[in-house]
């Protein structure tokens, strides 16, 4: 990218669905490769990059518990799903020649380092892409909350929340042609109007610590770069 980044350290939140491509579940390798290529460009521009991935493409705790599972057990399964996605992303990034580390909130020493805040920061300083796996490590939370928490812990300047639409709308743009996109929103707007940005725990955490969130469309190639380098108003919504 030509212009320098506005941010030195960012946290990107990818939902599990971002890895599905057009599929209904699981991981779509070409989509994963495309995301890895974009992340490589960001890292090469000198931006320190941490990533939190969801697990919804594989397993979601709430869905499991509605089918009769114990909620905590179902949530732990969801956290393991994020580990699978994290390893897939790590592999795709390494194929692009990026240095990466997966840090897991649940210990699994053979495949990931345990999450240690100072170690995460050190990896970032050395230019490694850090992938945070297993969410917060606690049931009843989401990976959105994990993204807010980790962003705070590593002093990220912004959370980039990747979605399938280019920001936050006042109605569903896929159903309502009159739907309009907000360029900026306050945290309170999001909470009061129950806007679909991140869950309320994650939003409150960002609000209390004044951490900005950029909601943008990941399905358009080059958008991650635009979100941190280019004109904000053009590509998404800033909270």
Query: b or e along 147-184 (b: 16 or more beta carbons within 10 Å of the residue's beta carbon)?
Result: bbbbbbbbebbbbbbbbebbbbbeeeeeeeeeeeebee
- The single residue among 7, 50, 78, 129 that binds ligand UDP, judged by CB under 6 A, is 78
Burial class (CB within 10 angstroms; exposed 0-12, middle 13-18, buried 19+) of 119: middle
Q: Which is nearer to ligand UDP, 156 or 229 (CB)?
A: 156
Q: Choose one: 51-59, 118-126, 164-172, 217-225; the region binding ligand UDP (CB under 6 A).
A: 51-59
At closest approach, how far in Å is the CB of 63 from ligand UDP?
A: 8
Q: How many residues bind ligand UDP (CB under 6 A)?
A: 23
At closest approach, how far in Å is the CB of 21 from ligand UDP?
A: 14
Report the alpha-carbon distance of residue 9 to residue 50 in Å, rounded: 8
Q: Which is nearer to ligand UDP, 134 or 229 (CB)?
A: 134
At closest approach, how far in Å is the CB of 142 from ligand UDP?
A: 4
Q: Which is nearer to ligand UDP, 5 or 85 (CB)?
A: 85
Interacting residues with ligand UDP (CB under 6 A): 15-17, 54-56, 60-62, 75, 78-79, 81-82, 135-136, 138-139, 141-144, 146
């Amino acid at each position: 990218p030509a212009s320098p980044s506005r941010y030195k350290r960012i946290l990107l939140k990818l939902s599990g669905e971002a890895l599905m491509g057009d599929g209904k579940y699981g991981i779509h390798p070409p989509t994963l490769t495309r995301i890895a290529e974009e992340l490589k460009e960001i890292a090469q521009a000198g931006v320190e990059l941490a990533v939190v991935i969801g697990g919804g493409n594989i397993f979601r705790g709430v869905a499991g518990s509605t089918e009769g599972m114990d909620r905590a057990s179902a949530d732990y399964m969801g956290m393991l799903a994020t580990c699978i996605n994290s390893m897939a992303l790590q592999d795709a990034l390494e194929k692009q020649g990026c240095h990466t580390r997966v840090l897991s909130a649940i210990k699994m020493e053979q495949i990931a380092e345990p999450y240690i805040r100072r170690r995460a920061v050190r990896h970032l300083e050395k230019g490694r892409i850090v992938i945070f796996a297993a969410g917060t490590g606690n049931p009843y939370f989401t990976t959105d909350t994990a993204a807010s928490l980790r962003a705070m812990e590593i002093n990220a300047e912004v959370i980039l929340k990747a979605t399938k639409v280019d920001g936050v709308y006042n109605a569903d743009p896929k159903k309502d042609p009159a739907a309009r996109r907000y360029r900026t929103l306050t945290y309170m707007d999001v909470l009061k109007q129950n806007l679909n940005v991140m869950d309320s725990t994650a939003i409150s955490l960002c609000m209390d610590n004044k951490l900005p969130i950029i909601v943008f469309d990941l399905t358009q190639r080059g958008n991650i770069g635009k979100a941190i380098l280019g004109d904000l108003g053009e590509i998404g919504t800033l909270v």
